Each structure stands twice: as structure tokens, then as C-alpha cells.
Amino acid sequence: MAAAPMTDRQTLLELVTALRARLEWCRDTGAEVDAMAVDGRSAAPAAAATDDDSVPLNAAPRKTPMDGSVAGAGRPTAAVPPVATSAGAPVETLDLLVSPAVRAASDLPQLRAAIGDCTRCKLAPHRTNLVFGVGNPAAELVFVGEAPGRDEDLRGEPFVGRAGQLLTEIITKGMKLRREDVYIANIIKCRPPQNRNPEPDEIASCEPFLVRQLALIRPKAIVALGTFAAQTLLKTRTPITRLRGAWTDYHGIPLMPTFHPAYLLRNPAEKRVVWEDIQQVMRALGLPR
Ligand code: SF4
């Protein structure tokens, strides 16, 4: 059966996504922008082809690991991040389709208001509540998960189901913080039907909101929870089993990938390695253990 023709909006979204990837890569590598090279198939830099594990999702993989050396991605460096100097680097969305109000938002309430009853992607009709994020707007630490589940969709708050309870225990019992001390958000703000994985067009539509949230919060560290969050933020397909436990970089913000709490509910033996990852985060933030 012939594929359904793309709508103008889908085409435009793909072009914007490719342009964003190209601009990020040029910014990271210092290369000059080549307008003629901006298309969905040629936007990835040649260097990416040397990384067997890192196939770009919808953008080029990041090039600057935490120790500042040039590397072709793969397993990120395990160096302790220079939190004091690199944290809070501005992260700006380059999505030209994001409304001016979203780009102009100067705090999280303004951003939430600008997002409104978003219908940028096909998840909108399925949601009960748009799950924006919760926590300290000036948090030093942001947890990023995948997408709302049933409980989160009903409550309008991320990580409130069983997996959320486990995350709360990690924050309160493990890190000795309050849940309201950190910020918690997802890559995708609306629940995918039957909790299926978010699709590329949905990510392209929604990720700019998270990018803007992170730019406003300016955290000192990010913890990416699970395969989807880590691979989406880092633009890689490297398995979470290889990503976890090693610092990497998200637009100048140290990022620690680790397993998702839902995975820990199914595999409680892995709590030990997650605790090791969290202890690295605590060390980097200067939190007492
Ligand atoms: S998932 Fe994101 S882009 Fe899609 S409708 Fe919800 S808020 Fe909008």
C-alpha cells in the first residue's frame, strides 16, 4: 500500500527538525552553516558514521563530552562534571514553529500559559491533562522521564504512579531532598495511547517545550530516566545499559543517564546500580551522603 502523503505541516516539521540538528552540530563543532546541506537525510555530520552505536534519532549526536575532549560519541566519559562552571548554560529552542509566546516566556508559569491547550501533535485528543512538569523552578537538579502514564494523565503531574513513588523514595530517602526541591518533567507532555512509545513527530513537536523549560530552570545537573529520555536527549541509540552511570553533556549541562523507576519495579536488583548513579549526582552537586 502506498504511504499516505505528508501534510505541509509534517514536511515543515521535518525540515525544522533537520535544520535544528544542523545548527546544533555547527554550533558544537564550530563548522559553518551550509544551508544547502540542510535536509532530513544529510543533516547528520559525517563523524556520526564512525559511531556504530549512535545512530541519530532526529538530530546529530552531541560531540563534546564532559572532559572537553573531542570524541565520536560512543560511551560517554565517566569524568566528574565541572558543575560549578558549566551548569546553567543557556539552552534555546531553534524550533521556528514554536509560538512567539513560548519563545518569549521568561518563567515557567508564562511558558505553561503559552503552551495552553496544545494541539501541536496527534496526542492532544487522547489526553485528560497536559503534564507540564512539577517542582522547584530554580532547581539544581532536573529529572527527565519519558511520557505521562495513566496516573499522570489523570492527575496532570509527572511520576505519581508506582514508578513515581519509587522516584520519590530515591529523592527523599536516598538523596535526602524533598520532591519539591527538584524539578520533574517528561520529554512528552501528553500520554500516548496504551502507553506506547512516543513517535518521532510527537517528539519533534513536544521536545522544544522541555528545551525551553531547561533553559528557564538552568539546572546544574539532569538525570535522564530510562532508555527513551536518555536516547532522545542525547540523540543516540546507544542502549541505556551502556549510557547509564557515565556523565555526558546536554547543551553544557551535565547529564547522568540511569534506569527508569518503572524498570526497577520489574528488576529490583538493578536498584543498586541506580543508587551508584544517584550517588555520582549527589557528589557532583555537593550533597551530603
Ligand atoms: S505531546 Fe506535546 S506537542 Fe503533543 S499535544 Fe501534547 S503538549 Fe502538544
How open is the CA angle 285-66-218, to the nearest 5 degrees? 50
Kindly report the number of other CB atoms within 10 A of residue 30's CB atom: 7
Task: Tell me how far the alpha carbon of residue 140 lies from the centroid of ligand 1, in angstroms.
Answer: 26
Please give the model's pTM, rounded to 2 decimal places. 0.74
CA distance 251 to 248: 10
With a 6 Å cutoff on the Cβ, whether 191 touches ligand 1 is no
**Where along the chain do its domains lie?**
7-61, 100-285
Pairing assessment for the beta strands 253-258 and 221-225 based on DSSP bridges: parallel
pLDDT at 92 over 70: no
Residue 214 Cβ inside 6 Å of ligand 1? The answer reads no
| Rounded-to-integer distance, Cα 140 and Cα 143, Å | 10
Instruction: Determine which residue's CA is closest to atom 3 belonging to ligand 1.
Output: 206
Q: Closest Cα to residue 181, out of 135, 144, 213, 219?
A: 135
Q: Identity (one letter) of the amino acid at 186?
A: N
Distance between CA 123 and CA 115 in Å, rounded?
Answer: 14
Q: Give the pLDDT band of residue 99 (cuts 50, 70, 90).
A: confident
Compute the average pLDDT of residues 250-272: 97
CATH number for the region 100-285 comes to 3.40.470.10
Share of the chain above pLDDT 70, in %: 67
State the cell numbers at 99: 509560538
Average pLDDT, the chain: 78
Q: DSSP for 123-146? A: TGGG-SS----EE-TT-SEEEEES
> How much distance in Å is there from the Cα of 119 to the middle of ligand 1?
6
| Percentage of the residues of the chain whose pLDDT score is greater than 90 | 64
Report the alpha-carbon distance of residue 230 to residue 187 in Å, rounded: 10
Q: How confident is the model at residue 81 (pLDDT cuts 50, 70, 90)?
A: low
Contact 249, 255 (CB under 8 A): yes
Q: Which residue among 17, 102, 117, 120 has the greatest number of ligand 1 atoms within 8 angstroms of its CB, and so is best to mutate?
A: 120
What is the per-residue pLDDT for 13?
61
Q: Whats the size of the chain, residue-wise?
A: 289
pLDDT at 102 over 70: yes
> At 98, is the pLDDT very low, low, confident or very high (cuts 50, 70, 90)?
confident
Instruction: Using the atom order of ligand 1, give the atom closest to the CA of residue 124.
Output: 5
- Mark residue 139 as left, alpha or beta (left: phi above 0; alpha: psi -120 to 50; beta: remaining): beta
- pLDDT at residue 80 above 60? no
Cα 52 to averaged position of ligand 1 atoms, centre (Å): 32
List, in sequence order, every residue forming a beta bridge with 253; answer none if it has no partner. 250
Task: Judge whether 45 and 59 are in contact, CB under 8 Å.
Answer: no
Q: Is the pLDDT of residue 59 over 50?
A: no
* Biggest distance spanned by C-alpha atoms of the chain: 60
User: What is the 3-state secondary structure of 43-63?
Assistant: CCCHHHHHCCCCCCCCCCCCC
Residue 86 pLDDT more than 50? no
pLDDT of residue 97: 72
